[in-house]
């Protein structure tokens, strides 16, 4: 679920001279942010106003990358002996070709969600060539690739639907993020009403995000990561919003401006990277209801813990490792009790155990994807013994992926 804000293109030229680098869209913008912002006091850890009935984040500030991570024994570089770290950095498996996406429809795949019948719904924003309309694709249980839904343009901006994170609601509907680069807080989360396994209607559920990214439902709530709540601040502030599903039934929620004051914001995290100003990305829950957040540019995975009333009681860096450079999509596999992390920067999938150890599952060099290798993996999900990987292939400088090359592919890593 990685996302490269195109709106920053407009600022990029100005930043080139400041930065002195042709480091590309994201790097340039990030450097620009660096150049124009002054040091700020530590960010808020949550909104000032509690969301009714769900409590507010009372979490401590996310720790700086250099801090020790209590309880994250594994966090590789932090407390693992060198030899053990080297072992954890050695890939266990190799990615293979899963499916080749049809070039006449797909040029940029992103997030996936698994339906109860074993189908996968894949969001395809088509950022590499916006003349191709964005779509949702379906991969059937026997791995046939079909178009599932044409996505309408954003009614306010008139621009294509920026399809990113997708999840299934308890009633079978889908939630889908619509990232809009133009304007301020024009991103949304939409609901796709489903009927007999088919999409019937799509409409807004929550409006006013900066970069709406991952979506996930749990215990009557929808959680949404916003990757850039305040990109002017250093460190960059991003975070997670929570909405009662009941409140989304008959009304569209409009978020506050600025976002940091919205009462649905339950926690913020900081991103310290000087290259990229992209923070909270993938989301997943473990069996105990702890919420994990991928911090894209810092390559750390954060954990929120809640009390019995849903109040955030801990907000900390859960895992980091020298070999984990980026934390894009997250997926929790209940069978193996592992968190799968897509590392867009170095073409890797990592597995994090619940003690915080980060093991490289698979990793490969730059590829066009035709050999089955990962071409900028943005999310991995587990279906049975298969880890299925979406290869976004939407490169920016600083990634191992050097260029967009057709076709777009999904990879598979077999766990058996
Ligand atoms: Ca490719
Ligand atoms: Ca490529």
List, as one string, the DSSP characters of 267-278: EEEEE--SS---
Q: Is the peptide bond before 407 cis (omega within 30 degrees of 0)?
A: yes
Of the ligands numbered here, which is closest to the C-alpha atom of 390?
Answer: 1
- Percent of the chain at pLDDT above 90? 77
Measure 395 CA to ligand 2 centroid, in angstroms.
Answer: 7
φ, ψ for residue 154, nearest 5 deg: -65, 125
Measure 368 CA to ligand 1 centroid, in angstroms.
Answer: 4
In the predicted model, what is the mean pLDDT of residues 402-412?
96
pLDDT at residue 70, as a whole number: 32
Integer Cα distance of 60 and 83 in angstroms: 33
Instruction: Look at the block and give the residue holding tokens 């339906």.
Output: 115
Round the CA-based radius of gyration of the chain to a whole number and report it.
19
* Superfamily grouping for domain 6-62+70-414: TolB, C-terminal domain (2.120.10.30)
Measure 297 CA to ligand 2 centroid, in angstroms.
Answer: 19
Measure 371 CA to ligand 1 centroid, in angstroms.
Answer: 10
Reported as a single tens digit per residue, the pLDDT across 322-343 is: 999 999 999 999 999 999 999 9
In the predicted model, what is the mean pLDDT of residues 207-233?
97
In the predicted model, what is the mean pLDDT of residues 45-71?
32
Of the ligands numbered here, which is closest to the C-alpha atom of 347?
Answer: 2
Integer Cα distance of 118 and 335 in angstroms: 16
Q: Give the CA angle between residues 35, 36, 40 to the nearest 5°.
A: 105
pLDDT at 319 over 80: yes
Q: Is 321:327 a contact under the CB 8 Å cutoff?
A: no
Measure 148 CA to ligand 1 centroid, in angstroms.
Answer: 22
The reply to whether the predicted model has a pTM over 0.75 is yes
- Report the length, in residues, of the chain: 416
Measure 391 CA to ligand 2 centroid, in angstroms.
Answer: 9
pLDDT at 146 over 70: yes
Q: How far is CA 195 from CA 33, 93, 169, 173, in A?
A: 45, 39, 13, 8
* Strand boundaries in 28-159, DSSP class E: 96-100, 112-114, 120-124, 135-139, 145-150
Of the ligands numbered here, which is closest to the C-alpha atom of 100?
Answer: 1
Integer Cα distance of 403 and 320 in angstroms: 28
pLDDT at residue 80, as a whole number: 56
Q: Across all residues in the chain, what is the average pLDDT?
A: 84
Measure 87 CA to ligand 1 centroid, in angstroms.
Answer: 29
Q: Which residues contact 97 (CB under 8 A, 6 or more apart)?
A: 369, 370, 371, 372, 409, 411, 412
In the predicted model, what is the mean pLDDT of residues 139-165?
98
- Reduced to 3 states (helix: H, G, I; strand: E, B; else coil), residue 29 is helix
Residues with CB under 5 A from ligand 2 (ion): 375, 393, 401, 405
Of the ligands numbered here, which is closest to the C-alpha atom of 394?
Answer: 2
Measure 404 CA to ligand 2 centroid, in angstroms.
Answer: 4
pLDDT at 269 over 70: yes
């Amino acid at each position: 679920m990685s996302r490269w804000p195109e709106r920053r293109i407009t600022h990029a030229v100005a930043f080139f001279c400041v930065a002195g680098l042709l480091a590309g869209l994201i790097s340039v913008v990030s450097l620009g942010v660096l150049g124009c912002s002054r040091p700020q006091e530590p960010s808020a850890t949550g909104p000032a106003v509690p969301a009714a009935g769900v409590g507010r984040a009372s979490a401590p500030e996310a720790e700086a990358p250099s801090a020790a991570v209590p309880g994250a024994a594994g966090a590789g570089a932090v407390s693992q002996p060198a030899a053990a770290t080297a072992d954890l950095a050695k890939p266990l498996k190799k990615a293979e070709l899963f499916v080749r996406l049809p070039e006449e429809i797909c040029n940029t795949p992103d997030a996936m969600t698994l339906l109860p019948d074993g189908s996968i719904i894949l969001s395809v924003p088509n950022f590499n060539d916006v003349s191709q309309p964005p779509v949702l694709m379906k991969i059937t249980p026997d791995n046939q690739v079909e178009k599932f839904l044409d996505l309408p343009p954003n009614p306010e901006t008139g621009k294509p639907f920026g399809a990113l994170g997708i999840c299934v609601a308890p009633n079978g509907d889908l939630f889908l993020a619509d990232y809009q680069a133009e304007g301020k807080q024009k991103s949304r989360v939409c609901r796709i009403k489903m009927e007999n396994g088919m999409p019937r209607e799509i409409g807004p559920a929550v409006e006013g995000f900066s970069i709406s990214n991952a979506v996930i439902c749990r215990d009557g709530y929808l959680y949404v990561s916003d990757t850039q709540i305040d990109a002017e601040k250093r460190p960059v502030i991003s975070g997670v919003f929570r909405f009662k599903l009941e409140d989304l039934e008959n009304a569209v929620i409009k978020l506050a401006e600025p976002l940091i004051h919205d009462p649905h914001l339950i926690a913020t995290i900081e991103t310290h990277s000087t290259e990229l100003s992209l923070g909270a990305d993938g989301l997943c829950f473990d069996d105990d209801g702890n919420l994990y957040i991928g911090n894209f540019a810092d390559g750390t995975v954060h954990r929120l813990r809640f009390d019995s009333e849903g109040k955030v009681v801990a907000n900390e860096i859960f895992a980091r490792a020298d070999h984990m450079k980026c934390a894009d999509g997250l997926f929790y596999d209940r069978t193996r009790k592992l968190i799968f992390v897509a590392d867009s920067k170095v073409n890797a999938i990592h597995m994090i155990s619940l003690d915080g150890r980060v093991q490289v599952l698979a990793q490969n060099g730059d590829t066009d994807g035709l050999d089955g290798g990962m071409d900028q993996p943005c999310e991995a999900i587990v279906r049975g013994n298969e880890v299925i990987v979406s290869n976004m292939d939407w490169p920016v400088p600083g990634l191992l992926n050097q260029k967009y090359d057709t076709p777009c592919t999904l990879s598979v890593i077999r766990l058996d």
